[in-house]
Amino acid sequence: MTAMRIRPSARLLVLNRKRQLLLFRFEFRSGPLAGNIFWATPGGEVDPGESFEMAACRELREETGLAIDHPGPEIAQRTSTFRLPSGEMIEADDHFFIVEVDDLQVSNAEWTELERDILDTHRWWSATDLRAADEQVWPEDLADMLTGAGAWDRSGATD
């Protein structure tokens, strides 16, 4: 049996001045993931020759329109197995970076055709909203990750 490809990626935990987190809603209408719907952070695969930090900056610009020179601190790393839209099963090596913004109007000007097909909408989530979410959010421990990093307090008092 062939080993799964390891896919390094940078994920962005974009927080506004109200300490709300930016998440995108992914809805797959066709292909191997048809019917899957979930919320997740901006981010994506590290290109050959890129560091995780460089990928974080590129992905943030491509997915939100915000250009930065350096991401904030890396606060977590997670590995998981999942299926890509192509159907390929991979082992994800995700590194999470906090990016703080005053305000951000998300731009889709640099989205790929696939992103235009699957990124349904975006939303700013408070800690309380995220902990009470009735839709799937990935990663599942996102609120705990932000609390552990000191970005959110344990009471959810970021609203």
| CA–CA distance, 96 with 10 (Å, rounded to integer) | 6
Of the candidate ranges 3-7, 77-81, 154-158, the one whose mean pLDDT is the lowest = 154-158
Assigned domain for 155 exists: no
Question: What is the domain extent for residue 105?
Answer: 5-148
Total count of domains within the chain: 1
Assigned domain for 137 exists: yes
How high is the pLDDT of residue 74?
96
Assigned domain for 38 exists: yes
Q: Which CATH number characterizes residue 98's domain?
A: 3.90.79.10
Per the rule left: phi > 0, alpha: psi between -120 and 50, beta: everything else, 74 is: beta
Assigned domain for 125 exists: yes
Assigned domain for 77 exists: yes
How high is the pLDDT of residue 50?
97
Residue 75 clears pLDDT 90, i.e. is over it = yes
Residue 88 clears pLDDT 60, i.e. is over it = yes
Residue 125 clears pLDDT 90, i.e. is over it = yes
Residue 121 clears pLDDT 70, i.e. is over it = yes
| CA–CA distance, 159 with 125 (Å, rounded to integer) | 9
How high is the pLDDT of residue 120?
76
Q: Which two tokens stand for residue 132?
A: 């009470």
pTM across the whole model: 0.90
Report the chain's terminal Cα–Cα distance, integer Å: 49
Question: HEC string of the chain?
Answer: CCCCEEEEEEEEEEECCCCCEEEEEEECCCCCCCCCEEEECCEEECCCCCCHHHHHHHHHHHHHCCCCCCCCCEEEEEEEEEECCCCCEEEEEEEEEEEECCCCCCCCCCCCHHHHHHEEEEEEECHHHHHCCCCCEECCCHHHHHHHCCCCCCCCCCC
Q: Which two tokens stand for residue 6?
A: 């390891």
Assigned domain for 96 exists: yes
Work out the percent of the chain whose per-residue pLDDT is above 90: 67
How high is the pLDDT of residue 155?
52
How high is the pLDDT of residue 34?
83
Assigned domain for 157 exists: no
Assigned domain for 24 exists: yes
Per the rule left: phi > 0, alpha: psi between -120 and 50, beta: everything else, 137 is: beta
